[in-house]
Structure formats: structure tokens, C-alpha cells
A and B are shown apart, each in its own frame.
Chain A
């Protein structure tokens, strides 16, 4: 089926540094990818929609300058947490949809394995 790869799976960084997380669709092209944030024992909160070749669409309350999203190709989207602080510590998950429905329904979201960010 459709596979989404996400790296790194976990990262620890110092406060003030930037961290980049990559999300790749391995066997399909994704013009749109989605970035979610998940706090412990809580739901998946959509942060932004990453659009290939154009600017990302951010959800209300999400700081564009804090969470930089780049979707430079049909198989790769990156999320950069800039000047990270302890409150940015969280589980970040990307997802993508194969619009052709080759491996699953065209509306099925396939998730990456997630990236656990800890900011010291």
C-alpha cells in the first residue's frame, strides 16, 4: 500500500536551535501533505497543509514563522521548527494522500511514523 516515511523518529535539541523533520511519500506522488501535532493522550491537531510548489496553508493559531514548511517536490515535505523552545516539545506526524487511489482509496490518509521532539 501507500507508504509515508518520516525522519527523524526522535530528536532532542537545545532551546533556541532549529530542527527539520522530513516527510516522504515512497511510492506515490503527493501534491498535498499534512502536518499534525499530537500531545500525549490527545488528538491529532492539524497544523498546516503543505502544497507542492506553493505556500503552505496554516491553521488558525499556528505560527508560520515558527513552523516553516517546504514542499519542494511531489514526494517530499519538510517541517522546520525554528528557535525551538520546551513548549514545542511534542509528537509531530505527517500524512499524505495518494490522489490516484492506486494503493488505497483516493481519500485515505497515510501517516508517517511520527517524530518525537524534545527541546531541553
Chain B
């Protein structure tokens, strides 16, 4: 099955700096890669996603890059703010078509702390 590795497990940055979280996946058939943000005691929320036919996607201060050849993808947060502090999870999915083949495999998460 799919295996997703995520690094680093913890990341501390100063407000205004950039933060980068990296993930690798094992199954070359994976074609959908979302990123979720989970604040303490709350549900995970999708912040950005990318599909395998795209190399980069940006949404304001957040961007994701995908390298299919190397099987890795990264989350980039620029101009970090204290409210960005949370646990971030990357994930990979085997299928876009849904049904029994649709299953997200999550990385272990990165605890991001943005210091004021």
C-alpha cells in the first residue's frame, strides 16, 4: 500500500519567515495530494491540494509543489503569522475516481509553531 513520509515533525519559525514542509510517497499511481491543517482540539481542514497533472499551485501565502518523478511534494507558507500555528498533514490518494479505490494515506504530521 501507499506510504507517506513527512518531515520535519516539528518546525518553529519567527513571524514573517517562511515555512516548508516536505512529504514523499511510495506509490507512483497516487495522483491527488491534499494538505490539511489541524488546530488543537479541532477537525482537520483542507488548506490546499494538487493533482498529478500540475507541478505547482498557489493560494495567497500558501503554495504546494509536486515532483512526480521524485515522488515528493512540499507545502510552502510565506509571511507566517501566529495563527498559522497548527499541525499540518500531507496526504496522498490512489485514485480520483472514488469508490472503493479512494483512500487517503496521511503523513505523520508537522507541528508548526510561529513565534511572534
A contact set with B: CB distance below 8 Å: 31-32, 34, 41-46, 49, 51, 57, 93, 97, 99, 104-114
Contact = CB atoms under 8 A, between A and B. Distances in A.
A49 B105 CA distance: 12
B43 A42 contact: no
Contacts of A111: 36, 43-45
Given A105-B49, A106-B98, A111-B45, A43 B34 contact: no
Contact of A93 (B43, B49, B96, B99): B43
7 contacts: A43-B89, A43-B107, A43-B109, A44-B106, A45-B106, A49-B100, A106-B96
A107 B102 contact: yes
Given A44-B44, A49-B103, A113-B42, A107 B108 contact: no
Contacts of A93: 43-44
Contact of B105 (A46, A107, A112, A114): A46
A114 B40 CA distance: 12
Contact of B43 (A99, A104, A112): A112
Given A32-B99, A107-B96, A43 B106 contact: yes
A97 B43 contact: no
B42 A46 contact: no
Given A41-B111, A42-B109, A109 B46 contact: yes
A51 B89 CA distance: 25
Contacts of A109: 34, 46, 104
Nearest to B44: A111
A30 to B, nearest CB: 11
B85 interface: no
Contacts of A108: 34, 46, 49
Contacts of A105: 49
Given A41-B111, A43-B89, A107-B93, A99 B98 contact: yes
Given A34-B104, A51-B100, A107-B32, 13 more contacts: A32-B98, A32-B99, A34-B103, A41-B111, A43-B106, A46-B104, A46-B105, A97-B98, A106-B96, A107-B96, A110-B46, A111-B43, A113-B43
